[in-house]
Structure 1
């Protein structure tokens, strides 16, 4: 039954509320345990929700413009009220305007506080909405977007609006309910539950509110193999297992943190184990999908790259809220806050993180961040271009390798990007990309994965294109100052050329090339370089590790957001940006082609000129069967075996594998001091390898049989199974 909203029924007086808050903090500080009436906790949560709406200051000019431009029927000019399609529905601006006005009406510092004119404008706008009940072809607006805005209006001044208007609004808000089609176990379920909980606060429904909060808390759980949070702390919004960690997964975390703070120190508080899962997810999932823990990263994004500003930096609001609610991993949270508030030059993060449930690898050093995105028979390559966004994303999962030093290298490059030159990818060059409905594909291979000891790592991709007659074996090997990219067994049919792109990003500064003993500054345009030593641009050196001709182009490129985004709100005007592209042209009818290059990030021109490859990097193998690299200074070997084989590690050491797998070795002369292994295929329960060195490595997941007569250690490693299959086993300290 709809209550009388013109009364303050069930609410504490201002005096009583302030007295309660003072007593609450007294009890918390003294450790006294008291049983508080449910109504007090309920009203406190409601007060916190309303207070959150009023954090930001009111823009006086914006409010004045909304008041003067509003039509007599409550509408605003410039909004297309006829188009309710998936690519349209500008009506969202209408409900957003109502929220903006409601905040101005209630904000304590607003010159419009309590303004009858503002209240009338809100009433007119709301009346127009309920008379028309606009319904979008995209369910999200009906079940989340519109109810979320309308419930904000109700909480801010619903008690002051005409009762019949409030009653007419309830069925529209009520589309956010737990049995709604969009309330699937994922980011949207927790958002819908949050809207419902806010509406129950407005209605005064205490028992129902408590039930919904339990649903919200229950959504913080591992759902490996289905929608939701995965065991590797990635996030899957749908059953296609595409990486949604920094899109839907970000909203999932923010929605939970919102209620974590609202309910703190009340009977509705969430359990500590749920809070710890959330913190782990925020730090080891979300933050490690971001460049420097701050910038939304191109490799982790899907169709949203078609929206201006998609790769913006995040603020510190959410980690600060977590610090208010818990002391769990306090230092890690404080570092993320510091990075976001003081800048990435303060970063001290270093890690190698493989999301084996999502087939996404991220690598952070104080001076750079990079990622590799892949797919397999287990995961699809890319999100469907829902609502006509991301219309050229066909190859953005094909072993793509983005690199960030500032976090802004790819910011809004997408309307001018050549989507057949994606950084890191090997792509058959077509006259045009297939239709957007052909973007999402399943992979054809299972040997897709990485090995990491949490600090270093290598990545292997047995790549067969689902779009073209093309295949390749691709590997990446990551170290402190540089990383190596190898490709072998590249095969393609037909007359179309095959490119492997080293990078395509926004042009910044001069472009240099060293060919033979001559270094030169290149002019804008297209260049073909015969066997260059290195190319340098924007604090990155690109070194060719084997004789290889390359092509590059840089200069102005003109494009349009509408080529990748058909939403009516997408910018319509042409965009011109300066772009740098560098690639290897493997030719056509490719048979057993290869490539080998190294990237030196965050280096000056002088550091690039002085870098001596032979002192650091040795390619031990680059064949379709085995790709391996030795770093001489780090005393480290990373090897990706696509089948059983033997590898000469140098210094008289040999590694023999009896099957496929990835191995990372830390060496000390002829001694192995640390090792990590993984099985990308996820077919094995044990891995068997041999080393002609006596091993004494700590750990419980392996055993070593020492053959003194042949001077061989026979190692058997117990591999992770179930939801941990594909993750790494670390042997040694």
Structure 2
């Protein structure tokens, strides 16, 4: 182990000298632990302004007069301000550019403040603060103070480290991002105490979550779970990437560097999933878990740091990381260097469709996965977000900070009764869905997804067969078999996003008119154009439109957030199915990239799309442009289009691409993940073929797509 740490020291000293930092500036630069700590210091280096916080410092006992040390808040725990302020004091005291550099009075305040914290020992009812946040920040503070003109008393540092060890937990007892976060403060403590055994344990546990698993962590479909089978690409996905890439940078070039197989997994997740759910500088809101209820949470420009680290760790993909950084920094527009891509995450019940002109996703939930959580007083109106929620973005900021003013019964993509009070799921953590048929078929460029929605909880009593068909210029959204016994009207929300200064236009009764401020009901409009996105209604329907200011507060959805009133201009489109609909249907087509009304009309004339069936047994759409036929069979059935007949003996999702006179490509998936054999009979021009798609014993891949080349 000493050889290993020595290697770390040599690499770090070399990297410091290459950036203009002399080894003479490193305390005990020949000490391998100190060299590692210097790398940690560089990660957190800052030059804070502390005058405001000094005014609230209590000279008598080392506390801060405005901190509630008895608070039991589970989120934004007030006592953490104490450590954060002492950390700023420590960086001010040790930074030659700060006016408080080597200030003896400030040193005394830091020492007394640490003594107060240790004696008071505030305790949070949320374990995360006790076992992750507090130990990490104290560790960084102590590491920084080792560079000071004066050193903290050995006894004080020792008892703080003992408290960190006692309260901070063991990383092996946790999973995913939590394990990596705990391993981080083990690294800090091991360096401060020069404990080889603990450093080895920390490094082993830091990388151990970087594996594919059926539990919490990286899934075999390249999604990410935390808190059970709950999609958490953002939030906890952020955390594990932050921690693992941070530690990988510390150990780069040593025998404890991140193993190549783990680096490959990390790289694939980051490039193909994590950053793919970002458009421009913003992350799609439905992959953030309960964090969606926090201000500014969709803004992800700061995550460019992870990509910058990967440029050094994974140089084989340097150009991709540079493109990601360019988009996140705003140097290039949201569509820069994007290529067409379609992925259905069969483990996560999630679909992501990317085109240079737009990004569209669908979040579903089944009996295999958990609904979006609302724990710790956060995300209190999330109930419908897992029920076929969609993002439609071109720039990325279409939903930025809209959430406090949202009508949460009108989440984009969702079919729901307009209840006056959003219900809370049966449990704030890990409530499984009820659908037994949720999934999608994909060939990596095109695809179709399905969500057989049924919900009898809290008098919602609503069901629908919902499907999405993904092509190049458009996404076709169909619903059938809509039933409800709720006393409230049932809406399918097409979108609820921020309004723009550009005029919104509707074509209705052969006339184009501006949608002015207010709310309106239309019968069978042809289309709506708002913010460069066209919304077409090929089968008409009763359409509700609102273009108005909406009011709410962050506190309404997150009891740890401010109660201040928030107003935003919002634009909403819904299909109104009325009260207690029976066998209702809907159809709408999303066409992003429409700059003008003339472009919408031009698109209409092209007749790219044919909706061939929209019943509760079968939904089928054909793209005339790409010659692709997509079908959702909810039960055994047969479908004929011209001289092509497709018969399925079980429920499934199918995609047929005609390649020649008697050739085609068939893609099939089982959204029910029944692990059974599905038989498909195909007939065309008196020729036929039977395909046996065997999902028996497919295990974790039961929802994946299988492909067949067919020659009749």
TM over 0.5: yes
Residue 125 of structure 1 corresponds to which residue in structure 2? 113
Cα offset, 1:124, TM superposition: 2.4
How far, CA to CA, are the matches of 1:682 and 1:19 in structure 2? 49
CA shift, 1:662, in A, is 0.9
1:585 matches 2:576 = yes
Distance 1:278 1:178, change over 3 A: farther
Note if contact 2:286-2:292 (Cα within 8 Å) is conserved in structure 1.
no
Gaps of 5+ in 2: 19-28
Which range moves more in the overlay, 117-126 or 531-540? Answer: 117-126
Alignment partners' CA distance in 1, 2:250 and 2:706:
40
| Compared CA separation, residues 549 and 19, structure 1 to 2 (3 A) | closer
Q: Is 1:648 aligned with 2:648?
A: no
Question: 1:177–1:183: 8 Å Cα contact kept in structure 2?
Answer: no
Q: Distance in 2 between matches of 1:382 and 1:613?
A: 41
Once the 2 structures are TM-superposed, how far is the Cα of residue 539 of structure 1 from its aligned partner?
1.0
Preserved CA contact (<8 Å) 2:12 2:39 = no
Structure 2 matches for 1:97-496, cutoff 5 A?
Answer: 97-158=85-146, 160-175=151-166, 177-179=168-170, 183-224=173-214, 226-239=215-228, 241-291=229-279, 294-315=281-302, 316-341=304-329, 342-343=331-332, 344-383=334-373, 385-435=374-424, 441-467=431-457, 468-496=460-488
Secondary structure of 2:421's match? Answer: coil
2:621 match: 629
State how far apart, in whole Å, the 1-side matches of 2:521 and 2:16 are.
75
User: How far apart are the structure 1 equivalents of 2:456 and 2:319?
Assistant: 44
* Counterpart Cα distance in 2 of 1:456 and 1:254: 32
Partner SS for 1:50? helix
| Contact 1:296–1:314, Cα closer than 8 Å, also in 2 | no
Distance change (3 Å), C-alpha of 1:18 and 1:229: closer
Quick one: distance in 1 between partners of 2:436 and 2:115? Answer: 56
Per-residue CA distance 1:141-199 (angstroms, 9 max, x = gap) = 1111111111011100147112222123123322465537x941121111001111111
Evaluate the alpha carbon distance shift between residue 17 and residue 587 of structure 1 in structure 2; reply closer, same or farther with a 3 A threshold: closer
Deviation at 1:112, TM superposition (A): 3.1
Instruction: Pick the aligned partner of 1:714 from 690, 694, 710.
Output: 690
State the alpha-carbon separation in 2 of the partners of residues 436 and 634 from structure 1. Answer: 42
Residue number among 598, 601, 609 corresponding to 1:609 in the alignment: 601
2: CA distance, partners of 1:45 / 1:426: 54
Verify the 8 A CA contact 2:187 2:202 in the aligned structure 1. yes
1:559-570 correspondence runs (5 A): 559-567=552-560, 570=561
> 74-83 vs 421-430, which deviates more?
74-83
> Could you tell me which of 697, 703, 707 is aligned with 1:726?
703
Paired with 2:173 and 2:130, the residues of 1 have a C-alpha distance of: 12
SS in 2 for 1:346: coil
CA contact (8 A) 1:291 1:407 kept: yes
SS at structure 2 position matched to 1:69: coil
Question: Which string of whole-angstrom CA distances, capped at 9 and with x for unpartnered residues, describes residues 666-713 of structure 1?
Answer: 22464444332111111134332122249xxxxxxxxxxxxxxx5112
Distance 1:581 1:533 in 2: 16
Supply the distance in 1 between the matched residues of 2:379 and 2:426 (Cα, whole angstroms). Answer: 11
Contact residue 358 and residue 393 of structure 2 kept, 8 A: yes
Question: 1:665–1:140: structure 2 CA closer, same or farther, 3 Å change rule?
Answer: same
Query: C-alpha separation between the residues in 2 aligned to 1:166 and 1:545?
Result: 70
Stretch deviating more after TM superposition (490-499 or 169-178): 169-178
1:497-531: CA deviations, max 9, x gaps? 11100000111132211013200012111101111
CA contact 2:507–2:527 (8 Å) conserved in 1: yes
Query: C-alpha separation between the residues in 1 aligned to 2:97 and 2:75?
Result: 38
Kindly state the Cα deviation for residue 206 of structure 1 after the two structures are TM-superposed.
Answer: 2.1
1:501 corresponds in structure 2 to: 493
SS in 2 for 1:161: coil
Kept in 1, the 8 Å contact 2:671–2:703? The answer is: yes
Task: Name whichever of 662-671 and 418-427 sits farther off.
Answer: 662-671
Change (3 A) 1:576 1:192: same
Going from structure 1 to structure 2, the CA distance change for 1:96 and 1:538 (only over 3 Å counts) comes to same
Offset from partner CA, 1:547-602 (integer Å, 9 cap, x none): 212011121111111111111xx122111111111101101121100000101112
In 2 relative to 1, CA 249–618 (structure 1 residues): closer, same or farther, beyond 3 Å?
A: same
CA distance in 2, matches of 1:403, 1:561: 23
Q: Distance in 1 between matches of 2:98 and 2:234?
A: 35
- What is the alpha-carbon distance in structure 1 between the residues aligned to residue 605 and residue 383 of structure 2? 35
Distance 1:22 1:336 in 2: 25
Cα distance between partner residues in 2 of 1:310 and 1:111: 34
Q: Offset of 1:544 from its aligned partner? A: 0.3
**1:64 corresponds to 2:57:** no
**In the alignment, structure 1 residue 638 sits paired with structure 2 residue 630:** yes
Match of 2:640, SS? strand
Unaligned stretches of 5+ residues in structure 1 = 1-10, 26-37, 695-709
Residue aligned with 1:81, SS: coil
Counterpart secondary structure, 1:395: helix
Query: More displaced, 320-329 or 421-430?
Result: 320-329
**Distance between the aligned counterparts of 2:600 and 2:495, measured in 1?**
17
TM-aligned CA deviation for residue 277 of structure 1? 1.3
Say which SS state the counterpart of residue 352 (structure 2) adopts.
strand
User: 1:244 and 1:20 mapped to 2: Cα distance?
Assistant: 37
Matches of 1:446 and 1:367, distance apart in 2 = 33
Q: Tell me by how many angstroms 1:330 deviates.
A: 3.4
**1:89 Cα offset (Å):** 2.6
**Pairing 1:92–2:80 present:** yes
TM-score by length of 1: 0.88
Query: Do the aligned partners of residues 119 and 630 (structure 1) sit closer, same or farther apart at CA in structure 2, a change above 3 Å counting?
Result: same
1:679 alignment counterpart: 670
- Aligned CA RMSD, in angstroms, stands at 2.5
Residue 537 of structure 1 is matched in structure 2 by 530
